[in-house]
Amino acid sequence: MRRRRTTGLLLVLLSMTSLATACSKEHPLTATVVLFDVSASTRSADVRERYERTFSLVLDDVIDAGGVLGADVIDDNPLAHGSLPVNERFESCGLLDNGLDCRQAADEQRADVEGAAASILERRSDGTDIFGALALTEDFFAAYPEANVRRVVVLSDMVQRGRDLRFPSIGDWSPAHVDELLGAAPTVHLESIEIYVVGVGATTSGDLSPDQIDGIERFWTAFLEGSGGHLAFFGASLAAYPIAGAA
Q: Evaluate the CA torsion angle 224, 198, 127, 219 in order and state its sign.
A: positive
Angle at 127 between CA 124 and CA 132, to 5 degrees: 105
Tell me, what's the pLDDT at 208? 82
DSSP H or E stretch at residue 97:
none
- Low-confidence residues of the chain, pLDDT below 70? 1-27, 94-99, 202-206, 239-247
Cβ atoms within 10 Å, residue 24: 14
The pLDDT value recorded for residue 195 is 96
Burial grade of 110 (CB within 10 A; 0-12, 13-18, 19 or more): middle
Q: What pLDDT, on the 0 to 100 scale, is given for residue 122?
A: 92
Percent of the chain, pLDDT > 70? 81
Can you give the pLDDT at residue 40? Answer: 84
For 170-225, the pLDDT digits (tens) are: 999 999 999 999 999 999 999 999 999 998 876 665 678 889 989 999 999 999 99
pLDDT of res. 23: 42
Distances (CA, A) of 41 to 45, 169, 242: 11, 14, 26
Three-state DSSP class for 188? Answer: coil
pLDDT of residue 178: 97
Beta carbons within 10 angstroms of residue 244's beta carbon: 6
The domain ranges of the chain are: 29-235
Residues 70/84, Cβ–Cβ less than 8 Å: yes
For residues 123 and 110, what is the distance between their CA atoms, to the nearest angstrom? Answer: 21
Instruction: Assess contact for 154 and 130: CB atoms under 8 A.
Output: yes
**Consecutive H or E run containing 42:** none
Q: What pLDDT does residue 78 have?
A: 94
Provide the pLDDT for residue 5: 42
Q: What is the dihedral of CA 113, 118, 119, 120, to 10 degrees?
A: 90
* CATH hierarchy code of domain 29-235: 3.40.50
The reported pLDDT for the residue numbered 242 is 56
188 contacts 138 by C-beta, under 8 angstroms? yes
**Residue 246: predicted pLDDT:** 40
